[in-house]
């Protein structure tokens, strides 16, 4: 294990030899060399949301939201390990040549564990979805994979953006996100807390916005009271890029750059991504900051560098360039793509059978788009395989593949001198001449992304609604009119209004931004070499009219936990080619069988707060009493089909007593399994004590109420999930004493 005390001691000794000017210079993201102390230059800014980014070739994983859809902790840890190894390989190669440029260090500003509270937010695809428990579990596994558990940290991860940050992008430099204490501690902070206290994340990045009046990168409440105080965080804190300049330029909480620099460093922000810390020495001269505050920040940063072994010989120095984009890493990326694709609808058309096809039509602006493969914050792949190319490679010479772009991604036409919708007639011709049509619609980073990185200037990366661009809606209608068998692939990083596709298409897949070579895996899914098994980490609503105002940070009416309507596709939902069912659940010495009790399910649905007594499997009243221990839920699953498939067992808990409880229940356990055709297995899940608590209006997690419902299934225990899957979860009672 790493010895932080030793690293802190070495950092303190090294910093003590520096002049104040030298110490201050090290607080920039592009820290200069100090030759007299043999301290090389170091650039703290590197990115790795889904693979090492922006520094040349690296293994390309699906965008973060696509990896989240796998509901797979082990996969997230493996992805982190790949990133760390390739990051080390690059660092070793570049640093020996004196190349210490941006994006070439070992401090990765990932993962993004903000809560995707509203599907209109452009950066939501960088996150792990809308649920704080899922986000925390996946984020922790990712951090552990990146950092490793050895004496030397393999690379440093960073939890961002702390905290209460999820749009609007257009106003983020001046926006004040106002959140109640309950929403803070129930929704916005838990994932950060888990990454700090359990995963030991080495860095935390502040957000651009204010939270309840305080700029996040200069917030005493967030950085001192919560992060370093309550949670005991010992790593370093970094600002988002040029966020400290926002203090005086947009938030107007300070008047000058030196005041902004002083506010940030006094709050505990150690690294300035930007240039405001160039004013640190002026702030010192004017008495706004102390030498001790500058020194402390420098010591924290050098502690991280010593933990990374950057001043020593380490086992990681031998990681060679051949590990970049190697066969094993590409296989891990393919696995991530395969596990994350979500099958939303299938009337039996999938998987496609080659022997039944002579022609396949591949249509749509994302069918042959590299941009739609990679999302944002991406590295370079030595090869890209689009959906069209994947299908062409899959069928070879056996089947004729017709292709049409169909329409511009969002514009009126493809060719500037043409009439509007200049590819529609070609698309219709392709459809008419095809046995089956695969329509690839969606977005890319130019339509949903980060402010400043997007061409969608009217919304600065956010979406104004959940509709596909008009050009694509027109294309969808034209293809529907041909009445050919239709499979829709939606390539987005967020929930979209897919009502029309749900009504008319024969099958729908949510394939996210599947990674540079994702087209090959998607083809394998379409033709049944792999069964889809992803689950939605976000709710798919029917329209944005069902949602509260985008700028309202209250959780009321948002996400599956608080939504009052009926979603198009619920959180946790996803189909497979297999036929897996939860046969029984064992818990607290009792056994509960599928299909034996509808009353508990009805109680879950209507939220009644009355005790329901009933018998289950002849085992007596369906009650489990829980003391101080965790709850062990053993779920027996069986694949009734001959198709091998992955699945995700999910456990939700609902408090039916407390007025402070999450109204629709919450995910508190999940486990991915793989089942061969006909295989049965028992999966054991540990449900922690927090599942049987609530967060009150003061932000305190407390016991309130004794009667809980627990559901175990392949999704939520809601009516819409049952309607879409024809399967019900097993619901039982737990009484906490």
Question: Residue 498's closest CA among 455, 542, 454?
Answer: 542
Question: Does 662 map to a domain?
Answer: yes
- Residue 336 and residue 274 share a domain: no
Q: What is the pLDDT of residue 204?
A: 98
Query: Residue 693 is part of a domain; what is its CATH number?
Result: 2.60.40.10
Last residue of a domain, one of 537, 569, 595: 537
Q: What is the pLDDT of residue 594?
A: 78
Q: What is the pLDDT of residue 458?
A: 55
- Residue 506 and residue 431 share a domain: yes
- Residue 385 and residue 269 share a domain: no
**Six token digits for residue 433:** 């001449």
CA atoms within 13 A of residue 200's CA, in its CB half-sphere: 16
Query: Residue 363 is part of a domain; what is its CATH number?
Result: 3.40.50.1700
Question: Residue 663's closest CA among 608, 702, 720?
Answer: 608
**Residues involved in catalysis:** 240
Cα(472)–Cα(442) distance, integer angstroms: 8
Who contacts 351 (Cβ-Cβ below 8 Å, separation ≥6)? 525, 526, 527, 528, 531, 577
For Cα atoms 275, 277, 281, give the angle at the middle one, nearest 5 degrees.
Answer: 135
- Residue 337 and residue 295 share a domain: no
Question: Residue 503's closest CA among 527, 482, 486?
Answer: 486
Using a cut of 0.85, tell me whether the model's pTM lies above it. Answer: yes
- Residue 360 and residue 504 share a domain: yes
Number of domains the chain contains: 3
**Six token digits for residue 719:** 């009516």
Cα(390)–Cα(73) distance, integer angstroms: 28
Last residue of a domain, one of 307, 336, 356: 307
- Residue 352 and residue 460 share a domain: yes
Cα(298)–Cα(275) distance, integer angstroms: 16
Question: Residue 673's closest CA among 560, 580, 551?
Answer: 580
Alpha carbon separation from 300 to 199, 264, 304, 711 (Å, rounded): 18, 15, 7, 45
Question: Does 627 map to a domain?
Answer: yes
- Residue 352 and residue 263 share a domain: no
Alpha carbon separation from 170 to 109, 195, 251, 685 (Å, rounded): 22, 28, 14, 42
DSSP one-letter code for 691: G
Question: Does 117 map to a domain?
Answer: no
Q: Report the interhelical angle of 132-147 vs 190-197 (nearest 10°).
A: 30
Query: Residue 174 is part of a domain; what is its CATH number?
Result: 3.20.20.300
- Residue 332 and residue 302 share a domain: no
Question: Does 558 map to a domain?
Answer: no
Cα(508)–Cα(521) distance, integer angstroms: 16
Question: Does 437 map to a domain?
Answer: yes
Three-state secondary structure string covering 17-36: CCCHHHHHHCCECEECCEHH
- Residue 288 and residue 196 share a domain: yes
Question: Residue 107's closest CA among 43, 62, 169?
Answer: 43
pLDDT tens digits, residue range 123-175?
Answer: 999 999 999 999 999 999 999 999 999 999 999 999 999 999 999 999 999 99
Question: Does 96 map to a domain?
Answer: no
Question: Does 258 map to a domain?
Answer: yes
What are the backbone dihedrals phi and psi of residue 157, each rounded to the nearest 5 degrees, phi first? -95, 165
Q: What is the pLDDT of residue 625?
A: 80
- Residue 480 and residue 398 share a domain: yes
> Which regions of the chain are under pLDDT 50?
608-620
The three-state secondary structure class of 589 is coil
CB atoms within 10 A of CB 726: 9
**Six token digits for residue 454:** 């997007």
Who contacts 302 (Cβ-Cβ below 8 Å, separation ≥6)? 10, 11, 14, 15, 26
Helices (H), 539-672: 559-562, 599-606
How far is Cα of residue 701 from the mean position of the Cα atoms in its chain? 25
Question: Does 564 map to a domain?
Answer: no
The three-state secondary structure class of 527 is coil
- Residue 619 and residue 529 share a domain: no
Residues in a beta bridge with 713: 650
Contact (CB, 8 A) for 528 and 351: yes
Residue with tokens 């004040």: 176
- Residue 603 and residue 501 share a domain: no
Last residue of a domain, one of 307, 337, 366: 307
| Domain range for 595 | 580-736
């Amino acid at each position: 294990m790493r010895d932080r005390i030793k690293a802190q001691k070495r950092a303190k000794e090294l910093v003590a030899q520096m002049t104040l000017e030298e110490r201050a210079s090290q607080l920039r993201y592009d820290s200069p060399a100090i030759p007299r102390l043999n301290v090389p230059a170091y650039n703290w800014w590197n990115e790795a949301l889904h693979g090492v980014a922006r520094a040349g070739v690296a293994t390309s994983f699906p965008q973060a939201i696509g990896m989240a859809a796998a509901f797979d902790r082990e996969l997230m840890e493996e992805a982190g390990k790949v990133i760390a190894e390739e990051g080390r390989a690059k660092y070793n190669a570049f640093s020996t040549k004196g190349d210490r440029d941006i994006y070439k260090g070992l401090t990765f500003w990932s993962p993004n564990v903000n809560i995707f509270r509203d599907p209109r937010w452009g950066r939501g695809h960088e996150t792990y979805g809308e649920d704080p428990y899922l986000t925390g579990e996946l984020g922790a596994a990712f951090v552990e994979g990146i950092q490793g558990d050895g004496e030397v940290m393999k690379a440093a991860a960073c939890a961002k953006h702390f905290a209460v940050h999820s749009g609007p992008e257009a106003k983020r430099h001046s926006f004040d996100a106002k959140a109640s204490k309950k929403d803070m501690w129930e929704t916005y902070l838990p994932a950060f807390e888990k990454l700090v206290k359990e995963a030991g994340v080495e860095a935390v990045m502040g957000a651009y916005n204010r939270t309840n009046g305080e700029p996040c990168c200069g917030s005493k409440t967030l950085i001192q009271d919560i992060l370093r105080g309550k949670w005991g965080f010992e790593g370093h804190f970094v600002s988002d890029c040029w966020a400290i300049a926002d203090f005086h330029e947009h938030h107007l909480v300070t008047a000058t750059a030196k005041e902004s620099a002083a506010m940030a460093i006094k709050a505990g922000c150690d690294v300035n991504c930007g240039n405001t810390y160039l004013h640190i020495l002026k702030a010192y001269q004017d008495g706004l900051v102390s030498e001790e505050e500058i020194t402390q920040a420098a010591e924290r940063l050098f502690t991280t560098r010593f933990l990374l072994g950057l001043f020593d010989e380490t086992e990681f120095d031998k990681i060679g360039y051949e590990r970049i984009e190697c066969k094993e890493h590409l296989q891990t990326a393919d696995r991530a793509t395969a596990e994350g694709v979500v099958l939303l609808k299938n009337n039996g058309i999938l998987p496609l059978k080659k022997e039944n096809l002579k022609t396949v039509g591949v249509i749509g602006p994302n069918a042959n788009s590299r941009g739609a493969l990679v999302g944002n914050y991406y590295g370079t792949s030595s090869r890209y395989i689009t959906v069209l190319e994947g299908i062409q490679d899959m069928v070879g010479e056996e089947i004729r593949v017709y292709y049409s772009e169909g329409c511009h991604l969002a514009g009126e036409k493809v060719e500037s001198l043409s009439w509007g919708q200049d590819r529609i007639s070609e698309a219709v011709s392709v459809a008419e001449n095809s046995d089956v049509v695969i329509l690839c619609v969606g977005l890319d980073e130019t339509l949903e992304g980060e402010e400043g990185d997007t061409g969608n200037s009217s919304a600065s990366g956010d979406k104004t609604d959940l509709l596909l661009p008009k050009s694509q809606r027109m294309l969808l209608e034209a293809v529907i009119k041909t009445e050919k068998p239709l499979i829709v692939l939606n390539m987005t990083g967020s929930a979209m209004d897919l009502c029309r596709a749900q009504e008319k298409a024969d099958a729908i897949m949510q394939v996210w931004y599947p990674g540079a070579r994702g087209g090959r895996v998607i083809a394998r899914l379409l033709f049944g070499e792999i069964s889809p098994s992803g689950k939605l980490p976000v709710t798919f609503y029917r329209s944005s009219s069902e949602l509260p105002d985008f700028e309202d940070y209250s959780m009321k009416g948002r996400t599956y936990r608080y939504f009052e309507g009926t979603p198009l596709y619920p959180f946790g939902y996803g189909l497979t080619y297999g036929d897996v069912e939860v046969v029984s659940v064992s818990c607290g010495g009792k056994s509960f069988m599928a299909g034996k009790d509808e009353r508990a399910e009805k109680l879950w649905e209507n939220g009644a707060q009355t005790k329901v007594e009933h018998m289950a499997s002849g085992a007596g009243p369906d009650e489990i009493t829980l003391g101080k221990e965790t709850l062990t839920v053993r779920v027996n699953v069986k694949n009734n089909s001959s198709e091998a498939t992955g699945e995700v067992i999910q456990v939700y808990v609902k408090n039916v007593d407390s007025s402070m409880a999450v109204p629709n229940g919450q995910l508190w356990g999940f486990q991915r399994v793989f089942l061969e055709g006909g295989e049965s297995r028992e999966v054991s899940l540990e449900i922690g004590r927090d599942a049987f608590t609530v967060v009150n209006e003061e932000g305190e997690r407390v016991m309130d109420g004794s009667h809980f419902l627990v559901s175990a299934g392949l999704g939520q225990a809601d009516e819409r999930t049952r309607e879409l899957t024809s399967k019900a979860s097993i619901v039982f009672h737990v009484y906490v004493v």
